[in-house]
Structure 1
Amino acid sequence: MRLFSIFTVILALSGPVLAAETGPATITVTGEGQVEAAPDMAMVSLGVTTEGDTASSALGANSEAVAAVIARLKAEAIEDRDIQTSGLSLGPRYDYGGSNGGQPKITGYLAMNMVTVRVRDLAAVGGVLDGVVSEGANTLNGLSFGLEDDASAIDEARRRAVADAAHKAALYAEAAGVKLGRVLSISEPAGFQPRGPVMMAEASFAKGAADVPVATGEVNLGASVSIVYEIAE
């Protein structure tokens, strides 16, 4: 009787576990969607790097040059809201040549001020770059293109991702000789951020007389989705 009671308890405990493991058969697929579009804005990371015998002289020269660069940006019709300081550094410059008994020697100071600029008129990008360089900008960290309002493009990329997932699920079901049932879940990857913008091969040129030539190309925005389908009986 004691052994029978123990066996009954084991069955009672194991029953819910077995039931939890016998869910519906499913097919899980991941869909990808991409949308290409002509950009309507550019982001430029530029700045000024200066050197000086003292920290004060290096920073002073840098501040003067950056002020001239910002004034030129405003003269090029760049609004205040589209100009943002993105990096500011000041530090010693060392001589590691061993002329100081093997110890690094400070030979001057280096100041750097980086500014991120949004250019809403693509035809003006070349002129903006040419203008700021003439005013003292000597550092260019990057140039990228994008859409001022990319919500509709990203929504379309998501629709294409769902259609891609549905196509894959139908193909797998056909190959396996089963039928698709209802959708059990739809999810984007954790921490998902729409991909883009990425430069594409096709390019046109936004260029004025004597301006820096700039290839605007296309931007590519992408989305990803995971869908779980039930396999119909």
Structure 2
Amino acid sequence: MKGVTVRMYPNYYQMPTRTESVSNRTMKVYGTGKVMVEPNIASVQLGVVTEDPSLTKAQQENARIMNQVIQSLNELGVPPQAIQTSSFTIRPIFDYKDGKPVNQRYQVMNTLQVMLTDFEAIGAIIDRTVLEGVNRVFDIQFSTDQQAAAYDQALQSALEDGTRKASTIAQNFHVVLDTIPLKIIEQTSPSPVAYKAFSASAESTTTPIQAGQIEVEANVELLYRYAFVQ
């Protein structure tokens, strides 16, 4: 009788992987967070438009008026670095008679962007520059240099909002969520700004401007894995 060789092997136990030990069921929730902040920067668009059959005259008149406007801004305490040309255009304009262009003239438009931090001076600046020849005042835009800090707060609120929603759903259906989401997607949104249109009041000698507040919003998408309670 031949001998029999018996080999003894240790009793190995392989731990289940994360993929094997958890459910593949997932839920998607969305979170929103909002923070209100006080603006501390204002941007004002001041434009000068001139027209003349002669392009040279239209351009020269525009330059003369704009130089007066810039000088007035400096006199009102606006530093040169806060004044920037945002656009300059020249275009022909026609009247039409019997469907045909007649009476050609030229329009010159020069626009300044003025950055301000003294909101109380905005009305006076608009009034003074209008007297100097500004005939286009575009929307006033309010913003903040604390945008990043405000957005971080809104993002924290958005994550808490999404987590709360996922927890509520899980409790309602008696399931268990993973502690950490499988995926977090930050949804982009436009930079917050507040706009105020230029308007004059018959009851005031200075154009009234109200800055209000800026709403900073953050949005996230959270994907959670969950399992039924055994």
**Shorter-normalised TM range:** 0.7 to 0.9
Identity %: 31
1:187 is matched with 185
Return the offset for 1:154: 1.0
Hey, what's the Cα distance between the residues in 1 that align with 2:121 and 2:74? 12
CA contact (8 A) 2:23 2:226 kept: no
Counterpart amino acid of 2:169? Y
Q: Indicate the residue corresponding to 2:200 in structure 1.
A: none
1:194-213 aligned at under 5 Å gives the runs 194-198=190-194, 210-213=205-208
Question: Aligned equivalents of 1:39 and 1:139: distance in 2?
Answer: 24
Match of 1:206 in 2: none
Q: So what's the TM-score if we normalise by structure 1?
A: 0.79
Q: Deviations over 1:76-111 (max 9, x none)?
A: 22222221211111111101122xxx4212431111
Q: Radius of gyration: which is bigger?
A: 2
AA aligned opposite 2:100? Q
Per-residue CA deviation, residues 12-31 of structure 1 (Å, 9 max, x unaligned), is xxxxxxx9xx9721111111
Tell me how far apart the structure 1 counterparts of residues 139 and 30 of structure 2 sit (CA, whole Å): 33
The residue number in structure 2 matching 1:72 is: 72
Equivalent position SS for 2:139: strand
Q: How does 1:213-232 map to 2 (within 5 A)?
A: 213-232=208-227
Residue equivalent to 1:108: 105
Q: Deviations over 1:142-181 (max 9, x none)?
A: 1121112321111111111111111111122222221211
Q: Out of 157, 172, 176, which is 1:175 matched to?
A: 172
In structure 1, distance between residues paired with 2:142 and 2:63: 28
Q: Which has the higher helix share?
A: 1
Report the number of matched residues. Answer: 200
Divergent runs of 4+, >6 A: none
Structure 2 stretches lacking a partner, 5+ long: 1-18, 197-203
Q: Which amino acid aligns with 2:219?
A: S
Alignment of 1:35-54 (within 5 A): 35-54=35-54
Alignment partner of 1:123 out of 100, 113, 120: 120
Give the whole-Å Cα distance in 1 for the aligned partners of 2:217 and 2:194. Answer: 10
Deviations 1:44-85 (A, max 9, x none): 112101111211111111111111111211222222222121
**Contact 2:23/2:225 (CA < 8 Å) preserved in 1?**
no
1:197, distance to aligned residue in structure 2 (A): 2.1
2:25 partner letter: A
Name the SS for the 1:183 alignment partner: coil
Gaps of 5+ in 1: 1-18, 201-208
Q: How does 1:4-15 map to 2 (within 5 A)?
A: none
- Deviation by residue 1:172-193 (Cα, 9 ceiling, x = unmatched): 222222121121121212xx24
Q: Aligned residue for 2:142?
A: 145
Indicate conservation of the 8 Å contact 1:199/1:219, yes or no.
Answer: no
Query: 2:184·2:220 contact (CA, 8 Å) conserved in 1?
Result: yes
Equivalent in the alignment of 2:31? 31
Distance in 2, matches of 1:199 and 1:55, equals 34
